[in-house]
Amino acid sequence: MSRGARAAAWCAAAVVLAVLLSACSGGGAATEATARPSASSRPASPVAPPAPSPAAALPTATSLPAACTTGASRPGDFVAEVDTADGARSYRLHVPPGYRPDTPTPVVLNFHGYNRDAAQQETYSGLVPVSDTGGFLLITPEGGGSPRGWDIPGIYNENGIDDVAAVLDILAAVERDFCVDARRVYATGHSNGGEMAVYLACTHPELIAAAAPVSGMDYAVPCESGRPVPLVNFQGTDDRLVPYEATIVPMAAWAAMNGCDPVPEVTQTSAHVSRQVWQGCDAATEAYIIEGGGHTWPGAVTPGGDGAVTDELEASTVLWAFFAANPMP
């Protein structure tokens, strides 16, 4: 897309704001939330997922990374750390029981929210059992700084720490020991972690096959180069920390970047959940809007967010189905 076309698309995205605001007007009240801090600091009936597309052909044996021929089969849970330019950075790694060291395996990067940690996010997201059934490696990194978070330059939580470089170091370390399918590396996260997933997909479209922010689509970075990136967003209308209204234009702008028609098709998937699907896209672009939902992970069974949690949608299973259907071209 040319810069002129992109500018026109961004203008079209702004027009969508009025249309979508009239479609979603906030539902039941959530519990009281703390005010969302400034950019410099901040405190701390189920929907059936879409069917994945057939798996793409795997690399030949002669093109496999070294870890796919020499690595050991080590299912289980691990905590490790890597040396980065900003010091040691730890991460949690879940290896599913069906992992085979001779088979390229998908990876899901799972980012925690501001003032949270990797152990909390691993549990809160519910992605460990989905990893076991879906057969992907689950990497849940620790954020940088104190409190922990994700530095998104020019956008949020700027603390001078290069979190993107740290994540790349973590991924490289996992690739040295495990058989990773480089065409199926995905990113998700909650709140500031959702922002990190979007930012990583924007700055490294050659690395991230698709992204799935949860309560974190409030800051869409204009991506001036690279391929369109599939994205599915999860957002509650009663989110007091990332208001639904603040996500409409960024979501529409991402759809415009992906070459989509400006107005999505909307279907009601359950009593309080609607699904937005943009048409004519160069990359799949969707959103699930939870009427009355708070700053929470849909389907979560443990505490970790703020406000109402829906039981009509399990974000973890839906986002994995979306990821599985959208490997790197």
- 217-252: pLDDT as tens digits: 987 667 866 789 999 999 999 999 999 999 999 999
Complete edge-to-edge strand list for the sheet that includes strand 180-190:
76-84, 87-95, 137-141, 105-111, 180-190, 210-214, 231-236, 285-290, 273-277, 265-268
Residue numbers of the chain with a pLDDT score lower than 70: 1-65, 70-72, 157, 220-221, 224-225
Q: According to the model, what pLDDT value does residue 71 have?
A: 62
Res 37: pLDDT = 40
Residue 44: the pLDDT is: 36
pTM: 0.82
Q: What is the pLDDT of residue 11?
A: 42
Which uninterrupted H or E stretch holds 193? helix 192-203
Structure confidence at residue 30 (pLDDT): 33
Question: Tell me, what's the pLDDT at 27?
Answer: 38
Q: What is the pLDDT of residues 15-69, one digit of tens each?
A: 444 444 444 443 333 333 333 443 333 333 344 444 433 333 333 333 566 778 7
Report pLDDT for 243.
Answer: 96
pLDDT, position 261: 98
CATH H-level, domain 3-21+65-324: superfamily: Alpha/Beta hydrolase fold, catalytic domain (3.40.50.1820)
Query: For 205, phi and psi rounded to 5 degrees?
Result: -65, -15
Q: Cα(197)–Cα(227) distance, rounded to whole angstroms?
A: 16
Q: Which two tokens stand for residue 176?
A: 């040295």
